[in-house]
Structure formats: C-alpha cells, structure tokens
Structure 1
Amino acid sequence: MCNACVIENVKRTMLSRRSLFTGAAASGAAALAMGAVSARPALAQATGKVVDLTHVLDEKFPTFDGQPGILYEENVNFDQSGYQLWKLTIFEHSGTHIDAPLHFSKDGKSVAELDPAGLICPLCIVDIKSKAAEDANAMVEPEDLDAWISANGEIPKGACVAMNAGWAAKVGTPAFRNTPDDNFAFPGFSKAATDRLAELGAGAIGVDSLSLDPGNSADFAVHNSWLPGGRFGIECLANLDQLPAKGATLFAGAPKHARGTGGPARILAVI
C-alpha cells in the first residue's frame, strides 16, 4: 500500500473515532443537563410579570427590639465632592430579611452558605387573613396546609410556603408589632405546621409579619426547629395579595456576608 493511501486511511479512522467521541460527549452532556433539570424544583412558566415582595428599609421600619434597623452617616457630600456616599450600619434582621440556619444554631449554614439553587423556588401562599383579623397571634396550622393542598395540589419540593395574614398593610402603624397595651402581637407559623412542611420537603417559609413565630410565642419553637434543619425563613414580606396561591416563582436576593445569620434581602416573585 502506498504512503498516501496509508495516510488517508489513518485520517478516516481518526475522524470516525472523533465523531464517536463527540457524539458520546454530547449524549453525556444532554443526560447530565436533564438530570440537573429533573433535580430542581418545578418552577412556574412565567409570563414576565414581576412583583416586588420587599418593603423599603429605613430608620422607621418596625423591628423586633424596637431599635432602628438601619442607620445612615454621610460619608461623602455631593456638593463638596461631586458624588455622594453613605456609611450604613445595618442590623441583620431588619426590614424584609432572611433568617439563615446560623441564626438559631451554633454551627448552621450562614446566609452566605445557602445553596443558590434553593433561593429560586416555587412560591405557595397560604391565606389566613380571616383568622388574623380575629386573632393578632393567629398561626398557620396543619389544617391550613391541608386546605391549601386540597385546593391547589401538592406543595412542590423545595418550595417557599408563605403566610399571607394581611399584616403588610399594618407597616407604619403600631399594630404591626404590638397590641394597644404594648404586648407583641402578630401572626406566624405553628411548629406543627412547619414540622409538616419539613416532611413534605419545603425549603423555606415566609411571613408578612415580624417573625416566623407568632408574637405571643414564649419559646420561638419554629425558629428553633425549622432553621437548624438547614432551611431558611423570610420575614416582613410585602405585596403577597398581588400573587395567586400557586404558580409564582420566588427569587430571594440573599446577602452574602461571611458569618451572616441573615440579612436584608430583595425578594421578588415572577408569574
């Protein structure tokens, strides 16, 4: 056989093997991609409407301890320097914010260590406005979850289940935080409900009130059980009335500071 024939034969063999490996790699990549998709929670098919679930944070926004959650100090003055800059002092659990596992555990995940995939998830909204209108310390109970499931189907794995107690409308009034005789009073979740959500595989809970636990809680049972399990919570949500009970996708813009037990967050929903 001539040298030219040998060379051409080698070329054909190499090209054939290259095609084989390329096809195998493409099939493998496709399989991996399908696996990744199937491992993620089922997200809504969005129409493009974005609802901001975040309150504006300023010095007047209600906080658990009654102290301002954010303080401003002018660092650079525009008239003097042509640009402006604030020095901020921010307390982690202020405004619309995330509670990370580290908030109620010695060595749980910090807010910076939360899995980014879990910050984008299906949003399920449980409406307890009628109960909360009669009892400021009303709670989401297992029967509320049963009613939601009966009306809307199963709660997706990894979902954020949010309580809508109509409490966001009280921001800016003393009733968001206290009774007239200055006792804590606001709705939250019961431990029985969050234990059930943990069994169902929910990844987060959210409230439109000041705390995951109701205002009259003496033991922070939800904080002490839900967060150490590696899950997170969102407090002081806004605009839940603008969303359906199911079908929205939550985007939690969690802060990413080291050792963070939580922090103010930009929370968005897309439907």
Structure 2
Amino acid sequence: MCPPNCLHSICENASRRGLLKAGFGIGLAAVSAGLGLQPARAAAPAQEHRFSKVHDLTHTLFEGFPTFSGEKWFTVEKPVTWEKDKVNLHRWTLMEHTGTHMDAPLHFSENGMSVDMIDIADLVVPLAVIDIRERAASDPDAALTPDDIKAWEAVNGPLPEGCCVAMNSGWHALLDSPKFTGRDAEGKNHTPGFHAETAEFLIKERSVKGIAVDTLSLDRGLASSGDFPVHYQWLGSGRWGVEAIAGLDDLPAKGAMLVVAGPKVRGATGGPSRIIALV
C-alpha cells in the first residue's frame, strides 16, 4: 500500500497460506505443485526443505483496513443474498495495494513485470527476518539499514541465496491502533521501512529476490512526500516486495521458507496475497 499521493506520484513520474507432520520433508517443486502452481520454465533441481509448522503471515482483509490517507480501499457488496437467492456471493471493490499484499516490479517501473509475469519459483524462497522492534518502539521513523543486514549476518551467516529479507518492526501488532499509519497533525506518516541505502546494498552486493515489511510501505512513512526511493530502486530492479505482512514474531531469524501466493491477474501491479511461512 502506498502512502498518500502515491498514485498521483506514479502518474507524474511514470511514462510510468493436519496433513503436515513433524519432520515431513518436501522440495520446492512439491510446494509449488501442492499449491496447484506450475513453473513457467524448467526448474533447477529441487532442494529439500523439512518443516513441521505452517505460519499464516496474512492480515485478514476487511472494509476499513488501514491506509495512510484514511481512504477506504476495500469494500464489499452483496449482489445476491441467501434469503432471496439461496446463494452467497460478494462483489469486492479494491485497490490492488491493500491489506497484506505484494508489489510487482511494474508498480514502480515503466516496463517492469506484472504479477502474472513473475516466475512462480521466485515466489518460494528462503526467509531472513531482521528484528528492529527495539529501535522502532522509540523511533517510528526507524529504518532497516545496511548495518542491520551485516549485524544479522554476523550472527546467522550470509543471507541465503535468493531469499526474501523481512523487516520486523513490531508494527503488525498495531493494526487496530492509529499508530499503524502514524499519521500526524500535519498529514505526515511515521512508520518504519527500508532505507534506500539498504535497497541499493541488497541489489548490488547480495542475491535477494524480495523484501517484506510489517508496515504499509517498503519505504518509511515519511516517503509520503512522494519520493519513494525504495519502491523505485527495488521494484525498478525487477524484484518484488510484500507489505503489511503479519506474524513475524513467531518466526526464527533464519531457516523458514516463504511462499508468496499472489493473485495471477494479467497486468496487475500487485494485489492482496496469502503469505505463508514453512518452519
């Protein structure tokens, strides 16, 4: 989800988650097959990932789900009812970037991949969770920096090849609080996010396919000024992002696999997604 003026900024700047048992092991290809997904190209030999728990990292979407501007980005209508038609059916009206959702490269690039163009194998990846909760608790404008990446690696080893780096700022627990959007009296938003230098560092010096945040934006809320440096750098490089992710507190810093089950809609710049972690 973008901060206020995000859509206006784009227009101006663009020419633009029972049967699982402890110790059960599956390969990445089997994960995709279990979701009914087929790779778009010949896949590399599957690497086994053993897991015993499935974590849902998705907020439940509802009318009034927070947005930076306060606008309603998701509404539900009932064109038919059980009482009248003996059928339950809803009509949804939504902006692509609402609730827990993914950002495709096209969101902030002129000719980037839309959601349906992203190789499914690139959406099942190792997950690295970087915890900045202590800092963010005292500074809502805190950013995940290159030093945070290096500190994580000093403890956990190098970032896994082709991983997703997720920022845990603790913001997912604030969903029902005004602090979730951090909007002040001047209309500025104060929420943590990735620093632009971190996006550049990960692009140039690490092999990372995606980044994720538990806030409404990959950028800090202060990017509501319209700059969106992380969005432009990260998505512009052909990589994807996930915003408003939930449940990171329950995950280890390393060892989980992330499954990004996004909507396969032709030309979509993003969309509400079911985000799953296998641990």
Identity %: 44
C-alpha contact 2:43 2:121 (8 A) present in aligned 1: no
- Cα distance per residue 1:226-253 (max 9 Å; x no partner): 0011100000010000000000000000
Map 1:226-237; keep pairs closer than 5 Å: 226-237=234-245
The CA deviation at 1:180 is 4.6
Q: Give distance in 1, aligned partners of 2:142 and 2:50.
A: 32
Which string of whole-angstrom CA distances, capped at 9 and with x for unpartnered residues, describes residues 165-216 of structure 1? 0000110111000245342010000111111111201000000001000011
Give the structure 2 partner of residue 194 of structure 1: 199
2:222 aligns to what SS in structure 1? coil
When the two structures are aligned, how many residues end up with a matched partner? 234
Of 187, 200, 211, the residue aligned with 1:205 is 211
Distance in 2 separating the partners of 1:35 and 1:104: 28
User: Does the 8 Å contact 1:46/1:248 carry over to 2?
Assistant: no
Provide structure 1 residue ranges, at least 5 long, that are not aligned to the other structure: 1-33
Residue segments in structure 2 that go unaligned for 5+ positions in a row? 1-41
Bigger proportion of residues as helix: 1
Aligned-pair CA distance for 1:46: 2.8
Secondary structure, aligned partner of 1:132: helix
Q: Distance in 1 between matches of 2:222 and 2:77?
A: 35
Offset of residue 111 of structure 1: 0.8
Q: Give yes or no for the alignment of 1:143 onto 2:143.
A: no
The answer to whether the 8 Å contact 1:61/1:172 transfers is no
Deviations 1:128-171 (A, max 9, x none): 01110111010000100000000001111210000000000110
Letter matched to residue 260 of structure 1: A
Distance 2:115 2:245 in 1: 18
Cα offset, 1:65, TM superposition: 3.0
Residue 258 of structure 2 is aligned to residue 250 of structure 1: yes
8 Å CA contact 2:68, 2:183 repeated in 1 = no
Letter matched to residue 156 of structure 1: P
- For residues 255 and 181 of structure 2, what CA distance do their matches in structure 1 show? 30
Compute the TM-score of the two structures, normalised by the length of structure 1. Answer: 0.83
Render the CA deviation track for 1:241-270: whole Å, top value 9, x for unaligned: 000000000000011111101000000001
Q: Which residue of 219, 224, 231 corresponds with 1:223?
A: 231
- 2:127 is matched with which residue? 123
**Structure 1 residues 74 and 245: alpha-carbon distance in aligned structure 2, compared to 1, 3 A threshold:** same
Residue type of the alignment partner of 1:188:
G
Q: What TM-score results when the alignment is normalised by the length of structure 2?
A: 0.81
- Give the conservation status (yes or no) of the 8 Å contact 1:187–1:214: yes
* Paired letter, 1:222: V
Cα distance per residue 1:67-113 (max 9 Å; x no partner)? 12211111211111222100111110000000110000111100111
Matches within 5 A, 1:1-271: 36-37=44-45, 45-181=49-185, 182-199=187-204, 200-217=206-223, 218=225, 219-271=227-279
For the 8 Å contact 1:53–1:267, the answer to whether it is kept is yes
Query: More displaced, 208-217 or 173-182?
Result: 173-182
Cα pair distance change 1:205/1:77, threshold 3 Å: same
Structure-2 separation of matches of 1:35 and 1:129: 37
| Amino acid aligned to 2:210 | A
Following the alignment from structure 1 to structure 2, what is the Cα–Cα distance between the partners of residues 120 and 247? 13
Helix, strand or coil for the counterpart of 1:216?
A: helix
Q: Is the 8 A contact 2:182 2:190 kept in 1?
A: yes
CA contact (8 A) 1:58 1:69 kept: no
Runs of 4+ in 1 over 4 A off after TM superposition: none
Offset of residue 35 of structure 1: 8.1
Q: Is the 8 A contact 2:211 2:240 kept in 1?
A: yes
Q: CA RMSD in A?
A: 1.6
